Amino acid sequence: MAYYLKTKKLDIKTGQANIALLNDQEAMRYGIHAGDKIRISWDHKELIAEANTSEEKIKAGNIGLYQDIWENINIPLNTIVEIEVLERAPSVQAIKKRLLGKKLKYEEFKQIFADIASGVLTRTETTYFVASGFMRQYTDQELYFMTKAMAETGEMLKFPGLVVDKHSVGGLAGNRTTMVVIPIIAALGLTIPKTSSRAITSPAGTADTMEVLAPVSLSADKIHDIVKKHGACLVWGGGLNLAPADDDILKVSYPLSLEPYSKMLVSIMAKKVAAGVKYLVIDMPVGKTTKIPDMETAKALEKKFKYLASKFKIKIKVIMTKTEDPVGRGIGPALEARDVLRVLQQKDNYPADLANKAIHLAGELLELCGKAKKGHGATLAWKTLEGGQAWTKMQELIKAQGGNPNVQPDDIVIGACKKYFVAQKSGRIIFTDNKMINTVARILGAPSDKLAGVYLNKEFNDPVKKGERLFTLYARTQERIKLASKALEKGQIFKIGR
């Protein structure tokens, strides 16, 4: 039974779910209760939302759409749409089955991911699915089914040329190598359509940092054009509908900060499969305060990555590096964008660690896909960076995405309020707390406030003298600086020893 209502814009943001507000009396008449899932259809498109009800905030005949909807979905306003109450999703049976410890078939995974992606499954049902991953380790075959199903639930891209990619398993502050690697690789004629996520628990994702230089929320058509013309892009993945179930799965994984490795594997590989990647380098930082705590875990993961890659005929190399140390000096979108520009423009004060790491990863990828002979990848990458071709390519990308290609590092605005922290004693920096840096940068306002963040005046292993600057906080308001300073009373970013 369908009903017809006129869409109205409401400025309420939940940060979590698509909510549509119905008039209380009308909803009752239609048999819709607060909390029910409804399908909203218009113009051969549809959207699943959760119904809330109100006596006054919405008139009969209207349906109020929350900000989470109209910000992300192109649904017409003040327009009549069709409303339908949803029954229980078909995949709920499969989720129950997995929760009771049974293996699922490909078709069952496909149905689950399709229902998650379309919003038919509630947040609670999606949580049960994620939880079922702990019931019994996924078999290799299940991992393959999941990856295939997750990829095939969304768009499957086909780009011309040799499609390659580089992926960093997260957790390391300031790890913006992507923005250096991509222009190097693309400058050498390979196709590298890079889609990134925004930060969820960290102070900046690649998409957040790139957004300081150019728009990243582009339409699928626009992204295709750019990649065809320039061999690369540096965009937010949301516009492309790649492995769309992944986003919602991430949202329910985050509260427990329990990302099962199986979920991570599937999430990464499904996107590569959907993007048509043929050669892939995985950068896996290993360390207590990163996502992968030890080499044993890293090696087990490498094996699974290799298994999945072989199933999809992707050539893969996993690079495991033991580290706790942030990459670059700036943490937070604007500060990280400055670092990246300094490296690409080869400024005198460019952060060497960021450049070196990017060169190393680019080199490995060049060797893997046969663009460079074994042992010569890093040299080729280095020449491309030093010779300015990488920066020229980056300028092309910035311009194509709608930014200013002549931007200089110091043009980038950072927080007007700042505070230095100095060494309380002389010595050497013997430990950097990567997690603490992330926490402080987030308190300062990153990533939603791009100007905010932490600049590291010193690095791991640097000698310091008492009273010397260790790091600097940047924020939009003094209040944020105060909040971050408070957090720094409880924990510290650097440990100074002998």
- What is the smallest separation between the CB atom of 100 and a second copy, expressed in angstroms? 6
Say how far apart CA 197 and CA 394 lie, in whole Å.
Answer: 19
Per CB under 8 A, does 33 bind a second copy?
A: yes
Site string for a second copy, 251-280 (x = CB under 8 A): -x--xxxx----------------------
Helix (H, G, I), strand (E, B) or coil at 45: strand
The long-range contacts involving 461-466, CB below 8 angstroms and separated by at least 24 positions, are: 461/428, 461/429, 461/430, 462/428, 462/429, 463/427, 463/428, 464/423, 464/426, 464/427, 464/428, 464/429, 464/496, 465/423, 465/426, 466/422, 466/423, 466/424, 466/425, 466/426
CB atoms within 10 A of CB 216: 27
* Positions in 423-452 near a second copy (CB under 8 A): 443, 445, 448-449
Say how far apart CA 443 and CA 483 lie, in whole Å.
Answer: 7
Per CB under 8 A, does 34 bind a second copy?
A: yes
Sign for the CA dihedral angle at 173, 179, 184, 185 comes to: positive
- What is the smallest separation between the CB atom of 10 and a second copy, expressed in angstroms? 7
**391, 344 in Cβ contact below 8 A?**
yes
Please pick, from the candidates 95, 233, 240, 334, the single residue that binds a second copy as defined by CB under 8 A. Answer: 95
- What is the smallest separation between the CB atom of 83 and a second copy, expressed in angstroms? 15
Please pick, from the candidates 43, 55, 221, 348, the single residue that binds a second copy as defined by CB under 8 A. Answer: 55
- What is the smallest separation between the CB atom of 168 and a second copy, expressed in angstroms? 25
Pick 393 or 442: Cβ nearer a second copy: 442
**283, 168 in Cβ contact below 8 A?**
yes
* Positions in 106-165 near a second copy (CB under 8 A): 122-125, 127-128, 131-132, 134-135
- What is the smallest separation between the CB atom of 131 and a second copy, expressed in angstroms? 3
Say how far apart CA 175 and CA 324 lie, in whole Å.
Answer: 11
- What is the smallest separation between the CB atom of 255 and a second copy, expressed in angstroms? 5
Pick 425 or 482: Cβ nearer a second copy: 482
CB atoms within 10 A of CB 395: 19
- What is the smallest separation between the CB atom of 489 and a second copy, expressed in angstroms? 13
Site of interaction with a second copy (CB under 8 A): 1, 10-16, 19, 21, 24, 28-29, 31, 33-36, 50, 52-57, 67, 88, 92, 95-96, 99-101, 122-125, 127-128, 131-132, 134-135, 252, 255-258, 443, 445, 448-449, 477, 479-480, 483, 486
